[in-house]
Structure formats: structure tokens, C-alpha cells
A = this chain, B = another copy of it.
């Protein structure tokens, strides 16, 4: 009931992310390079991880401060990276290039509609290219937003038919070459080969505060244990069920008056928020994985 706030879009940026064994002089090497190409750093974050002995950084540079083409920046930086040692892993992306996202769903609509709304408002730097469902329930909702919906039925009980279904899902998803495959309450366990194919790109929301309540019906598990907070966890999918690197978690207070159905309803809000943060950070190259953990430069 008051006048409008205006949102200004972030300018186009080059995003550099890097991880390497820690030693002195890394920051100097990187910032020296950026200065050399005239780069104006708008965001910079660092992390020295004592336990692993690794160093991680993310730097955002205004694209208009750098005169070189992105590929030229990449090839020059490759030399800097090489000097930081053979284990160094790095990436340079251009926020001007839209990322693509595919979403997997079952029947629950809350995460899907939230992501569709955010994408339509431009809240994250990616375009939802398609939605794949093992049930047809969310076709109508998806298509209202102008996004193609693929229904791939999953037969229960028949392992071979299920493997076929996963094969089909994988072909559909891979056809979009997505930067993120978002499991938005997708109620099927990805087989190991699919986990591997999508490693570092498949993002799941689990409806508990992991590592509590792994597996099926976590709200019912929470009810039985009598916890006073329920939670949700966004994590990268690995072959180890609900044990992949955690990107984000949050919780919500409950009390003795909540039955499992109340928890399911209230939990939706936490699932939605936690998943949307995780997806945005992933698409903005804010998440670096090492081992089974993440560095999140949020």
C-alpha cells in the first residue's frame, strides 16, 4: 500500500571460481591477473579450508571493464591456473549466457510453481527448458507457463521397465544439455549411472533436516520422534541416497499440536525456500563442491 520499489538488474559479469591446494600468493596471482586485464571486481570471496588444505575463491568482474573476448580471458587465465598446480580446478562463466534448467516432478506442485514463478520474474540466471514428470498431474500447471511437459510413466515393481523409464528420462533431459537438473519433489531414486551422468548438476530437495530422517516419509519419522523443528535440505544428488553434498538447509518450528499432515503443509514452505536458494546459488556459480561438502559463497 505504498509506492513501488524498483529492482535494478545486476550488470553482466564474468564469474571466476577456483579451487586449489592452499599456499601463499594465490590471491596475489589471481588479483594481479584481473588487474592486468583491467577487471573491476564487484564481488570477491575466499575460503581457506584448514581440514583439507584447499583454497577456494569466487570473483565477479564487471564484463564491461574487460576489453577481451571471454575465450581470450579463459585462455590467458589457464596459464595462471597452471602455475597454481596441477590439481587446480577452475571455471569462468559469463552471466550474459543464459543457463538452462530441467525440472523433474511427481505430483506435488509447490516447488514447481515456486520455481516457475521465480523464473518468470527473472530471479535466477537460467531458463526452465522443460519439466519431466513420472505422473501427468503437473502437465497443466507447467503448460500454463509455456513450458513443455514430458510425461514418463514409471511402472511399479518391474525393475526392467523402470530402468527403461529412467533411460527415457535421461534422454529427454540430456536433450536440453541442462546446467541444472532440479528434482522438485521427484519421488524416484535416480540409478547410479544417472547420478554419475548428472554429477554436480542434479539438485534434490529432501523434506527433512539431513542427516535426520533419511528415506521415506520423513515427516512421519519426525512426528514419531517428537522433534520440535522440521526442516528441509537441498543437496547434490549422488548414488548414496540423501547423502550428497548439502547446499542449503533450513528449519521451521512446530509443536505438539502438529500432526503429520500439518507438518507436510508447513514443510512445503521450507522445502520451497531451501530449494529455490540452492538452485539460484548453483546457477550463479556460488557453490563449489569438495568431497562430500560444499563451499557456498552466498
CA distance A210 to B294 in the complex (A): 22
C-alpha gap A226/B52 in the complex (Å):
13
Q: Does A24 lie within 8 Å of B40, measured CB to CB?
A: yes
Interface residues of A in 217-235 (CB under 8 A from B): 217-220, 223, 225-229, 231
Report the Cα distance A249→B251, complex, angstroms.
11
- From B35, B65, B298, give the contact of A28 (CB < 8 A): B35
> A218 — nearest CB in chain B belongs to which residue?
B2
Chain A interfacial residues counted at CB < 8 A: 98
Inter-subunit contact A256/B293 (CB<8 Å) = yes
A187 touches B1 (CB 8 A): yes
Is the beta-carbon distance between B27 and A44 smaller than 8 angstroms? Answer: yes
- Are the CB atoms of A226 and B245 closer together than 8 Å? yes
The 0/1 profile, CB within 8 Å of B marked 1, for residues 257-297 of chain A is: 10111001100010001000000000000000000111110
Which among A25, A34, A237, A248 has the highest number of chain B CB atoms within 10 Å? Answer: A25
Q: A7-B265, A27-B27, A207-B5 are in contact. Are A47 and B257 (CB under 8 A)?
A: yes
Q: List 19 A-B contacts (CB under 8 A).
A: A1-B186, A1-B190, A1-B241, A2-B206, A2-B216, A3-B217, A4-B106, A5-B207, A5-B220, A27-B27, A28-B31, A31-B32, A45-B45, A47-B257, A109-B117, A228-B296, A229-B251, A251-B251, A256-B295
